[in-house]
């Protein structure tokens, strides 16, 4: 006599199989490899495993599916349905028992691997399948005739209810276990890493689980604090990299390590302190504690990667640019010195090669040129090191370009990072050379500010009204995108020539130009528009710094294009974590990117940060990252003679050699004032030459 069995089909996975009468849907799903979320392992506590019956006839399967073919909701399920807000028709898979053939729909939110879409600067889809899992366990009270310990009892539940048979508890967990069992009346929630390391125990039921994805830049450190089960970003924080006091770029940091016996320790300590402050700021903001963060994913260039781990970066300073470790690293937070959950995990994405780091891998993950069929994509991540990717499904070339920190507001007289008060947008009137600007934290451009906000700066007045909300957020400095636009606009209107010098006679045209020998500066914001009461300027030296930075990016991109034997690309993506996104036209005006139709240039925000976030939310992305890091073709710019040559040619605006036909329509509006000023510069140059 064969036992009665029923057919169960799970949609949209399409898996089908047989169930014994009375088996729960969760059980059947597990047997069929259908991954349904469950924190409580079938205690009708978490309400995560909600499913729906698809009713009707399914001739292909030869069955009739009906809600009547499941056991009716029992008390536990009814209580949970109310508490967790189950929709009509939804059932708990852990409670509903099979009594006939059924077709079951597993909604997205109940899937163990689910997708969430974020609409931000760019719309991205993240898959949520974190390395961390929660497991709610009800532990039977100990009895005298049992010799096993409390942990063994917990381990048995994990094996029976969840199928996790190899969980090793951290010592911290064992230490906290007796109190948690007592306080939770033997109901506890465990946090597990990769289902094999027990890293936390809490009394009672919990469904919150947090992580941070942090992009550790040479100049700026920026992180997202996220709920690991929902993929929801709770807050985003950023700060200067405190290592900046030891050198502004990676080479000067390496020098510092080489020249000081405690240099490595200092730089390691500095970035750890910085990260710990950042994590505390993020958790404080949303009422959590750093201990609530169970995992952190870090990305950074190879020097940041080494300094984060306390590894000597000296060998990265000279050929053959040897990494101490290339592959991804998983290290316990306590071992690294990161103040999150001590047994929590820190994952650092792999490096590609000596000068091509985990940040490049993160950009690759986020922008995925390797998934593009046909079209060639150029991805440029603007930072103190520019990370450049070029290619498509066939092959992707990667390089790192020593941009310098200009685009992150460092090495710029009034530069600042993208924070409230930073000028992020600039427009210069071609005729009057008047300036309009927009500041982070203020919706209106400065010419739309109310009259009374434009009073001359008066500290006493400020203190009298300090309890009132200020009428406008005034300017405090210029951030990356503001610097790009300011310089691009000055060149567009002809106030600076192709070599980056202010044209002669500007002081007669506008009080905004402040001559200073052969140099000079241009006022973006007047004292009454600034929060400090001092004018905010773009100085000749700032323009020079921008030229070197954009030349490095352009030369890097050009080098990869030459390698691949192409002279133009189909899509350009501009990434960078500096406040607002870079305007494609201004990037073209500067000659920061190869000539292209601006419609084919896309600003994609903080791609490295998003790549880190993807790896944080989905454990499988980490494996993909390791594969990609080995698959990508890397180009070592530091050793390419052609790089130096391309770099020099890219210093003038927009370029000494390469044509930029797509720029013409954007220069038109500024004529004839532009021509006039450029002619003046040419004459002056000729005169000088004759005098010599």
Residues of this chain that interact with its own copies (CB under 8 A) are 142-144, 146-152, 169-171, 174-175, 177-179, 309-312, 314-315, 319-327, 331, 334-336, 351-354, 630, 634, 636, 639
Nearest to 108 by CA among 231, 233, 235, 234: 231
**Residue 443, Cβ density class (10 Å: 0-12 exposed, 13-18 middle, ≥19 buried):** exposed
Least distance in Å: CB of 524 to its own copies?
44
Least distance in Å: CB of 332 to its own copies?
9
Least distance in Å: CB of 322 to its own copies?
4
Q: Which residue has the tokens 């005729």?
A: 431
DSSP-based three-state secondary structure for 170: coil
| H/E element, 560 | helix 540-564
* CA pair distance 292, 581, nearest whole angstrom: 32
Task: Note whether 634 and 398 are within 8 A (CB).
Answer: yes
User: CB-wise, 174 or 419, nearer to its own copies?
Assistant: 174
Least distance in Å: CB of 538 to its own copies?
40
User: What string of H, E and C letters represents the secondary structure of 600-668?
Assistant: HEEEEECHHHHHHHHHHHEHHHHHHHHHHHHHCEEECHHHCHHHHHHHHHCCCCCCCCCCCHHHHHHHH
548-585: burial string, b at 16+ Cβ within 10 Å, e else: bbbbbbbbbbbbbbebbeeeebebbbbbbbbbbbbbbb
User: What string of H, E and C letters represents the secondary structure of 171-238?
Assistant: HHHHHHHHHHHHHCCCEEEEEEECCCEEEEEEECCCCCCEEEEEEECCCEEEEEEEECCCCCEEEEEE
* CA pair distance 69, 76, nearest whole angstrom: 19
Least distance in Å: CB of 285 to its own copies?
30
User: CB-wise, 320 or 659, nearer to its own copies?
Assistant: 320
User: CB-wise, 104 or 272, nearer to its own copies?
Assistant: 272
* CA pair distance 195, 345, nearest whole angstrom: 13
User: CB-wise, 294 or 302, nearer to its own copies?
Assistant: 302
Task: Note whether 52 and 91 are within 8 A (CB).
Answer: yes
In the numeric block, which tokens belong to residue 63?
């069955």
Parallel/antiparallel/unpaired status of strands 536-539 and 519-525? antiparallel
Where does residue 634 fall: left (phi above 0), alpha (psi -120 to 50 degrees), or beta otherwise? Answer: beta
User: CB-wise, 32 or 331, nearer to its own copies?
Assistant: 331
Least distance in Å: CB of 175 to its own copies?
5
**Residue 103, Cβ density class (10 Å: 0-12 exposed, 13-18 middle, ≥19 buried):** buried
User: CB-wise, 310 or 441, nearer to its own copies?
Assistant: 310
User: CB-wise, 49 or 216, nearer to its own copies?
Assistant: 216
Least distance in Å: CB of 336 to its own copies?
7
Least distance in Å: CB of 161 to its own copies?
20
* 78 half-sphere exposure, CB direction, 13 A CA radius: 5
User: CB-wise, 351 or 382, nearer to its own copies?
Assistant: 351
Least distance in Å: CB of 182 to its own copies?
9
User: CB-wise, 171 or 599, nearer to its own copies?
Assistant: 171
User: CB-wise, 559 or 587, nearer to its own copies?
Assistant: 559
Q: How many CB atoms lie within 10 A of CB 657?
A: 8
Least distance in Å: CB of 396 to its own copies?
14
Least distance in Å: CB of 316 to its own copies?
10
Which residues are registered as beta bridge partners of 378? 390, 572
């Amino acid at each position: 006599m064969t036992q009665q069995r029923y057919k169960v089909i799970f949609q949209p996975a399409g898996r089908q199989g047989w169930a014994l009468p009375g088996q729960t849907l969760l059980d059947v799903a597990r047997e069929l490899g259908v991954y349904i979320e469950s924190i409580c392992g079938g205690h009708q506590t978490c309400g995560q495993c909600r499913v729906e019956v698809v009713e009707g006839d399914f001739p292909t399967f030869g069955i009739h599916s009906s809600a009547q073919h499941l056991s009716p909701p029992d008390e536990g399920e009814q209580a949970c349905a109310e508490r967790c807000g189950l929709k009509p028709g939804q059932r708990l898979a852990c409670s509903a028992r099979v009594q006939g053939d059924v077709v079951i729909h597993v909604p997205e939110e109940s899937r163990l691997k689910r997708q969430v879409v974020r609409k931000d600067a760019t719309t991205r889809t993240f898959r949520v399948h974190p390395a961390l899992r929660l497991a709610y366990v009800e532990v039977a009270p100990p009895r005298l005739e049992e010799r096993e310990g409390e942990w063994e009892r917990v381990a048995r539940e994990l094996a029976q209810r969840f199928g996790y048979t190899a969980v090793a508890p951290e010592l911290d967990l064992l230490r906290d276990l007796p109190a948690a069992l007592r306080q939770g009346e033997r109901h506890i929630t465990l946090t597990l890493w990769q289902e094999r390391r027990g890293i936390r125990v809490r009394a009672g039921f919990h469904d919150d689980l947090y992580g941070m994805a942090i992009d550790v830049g040479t100049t700026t450190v920026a992180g997202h604090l996220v709920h690991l089960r929902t993929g929801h970003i709770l807050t985003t924080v950023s700060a200067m990299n405190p290592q900046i006091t030891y050198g502004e770029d990676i080479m000067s940091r390496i020098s510092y390590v080489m020249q000081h016996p405690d240099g490595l320790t200092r730089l390691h300590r500095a970035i750890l302190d910085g990260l710990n402050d950042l994590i505390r700021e993020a958790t404080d903001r949303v009422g959590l504690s750093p201990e609530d963060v169970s995992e952190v994913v870090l990305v950074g260039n190879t020097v940041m990667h080494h300094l984060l781990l306390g590894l000597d970066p000296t060998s990265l300073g000279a050929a053959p640019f040897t990494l101490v470790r290339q592959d991804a690293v998983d290290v316990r937070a306590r071992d690294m010195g990161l103040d999150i959950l001590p047994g929590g995990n820190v994952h650092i994405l792999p490096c590609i090669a000596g000068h091509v780091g985990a940040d490049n891998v993160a950009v690759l993950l986020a922008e995925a040129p390797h998934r593009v069929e046909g079209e060639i994509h150029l991805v440029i991540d603007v930072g103190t090191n520019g990370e450049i990717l070029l290619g498509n499904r066939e092959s992707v070339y990667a390089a790192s370009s020593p941009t310098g920190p200009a685009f992150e507001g460092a090495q710029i007289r009034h530069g600042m990072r993208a924070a409230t008060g930073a000028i992020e947008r600039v427009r210069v009137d071609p005729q009057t050379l008047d300036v309009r600007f927009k500041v982070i934290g203020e919706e209106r451009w400065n010419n739309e500010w109310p009259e009374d906000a434009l009073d001359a700066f008066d500290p006493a007045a400020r203190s009298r009204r300090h309890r009132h909300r200020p009428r406008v957020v005034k300017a405090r400095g210029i951030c990356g995108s503001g610097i790009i636009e300011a310089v691009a606009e000055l060149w567009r209107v002809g106030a600076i020539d192709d070599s980056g010098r202010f044209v002669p006679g500007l002081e007669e045209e506008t009080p905004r130009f402040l001559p200073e020998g052969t140099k000079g500066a241009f006022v973006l914001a007047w004292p009454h528009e600034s929060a400090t009461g001092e004018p905010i300027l773009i100085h000749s030296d700032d323009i020079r710094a921008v030229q070197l930075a954009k030349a490095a990016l352009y030369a890097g991109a050009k080098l990869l294009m030459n390698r691949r034997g192409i002279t133009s690309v189909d899509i350009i993506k501009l990434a960078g974590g500096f406040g607002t996104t870079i305007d494609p036209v201004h990037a073209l005006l500067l000659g920061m990117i190869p000539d292209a139709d601006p419609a084919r240039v896309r600003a994609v925000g903080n791609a490295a940060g998003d790549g880190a976030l993807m790896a944080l939310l989905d454990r499988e992305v980490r494996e993909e990252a390791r594969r990609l890091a080995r698959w990508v073709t890397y180009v070592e710019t530091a050793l390419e003679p052609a790089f130096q040559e391309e770099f020099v040619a890219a210093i003038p605006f927009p370029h000494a050699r390469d044509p930029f036909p797509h720029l013409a329509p954007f220069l038109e509006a500024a004529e004839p004032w532009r021509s006039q000023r450029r002619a003046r510069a040419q004459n002056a140059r000729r005169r000088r030459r004759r005098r010599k």
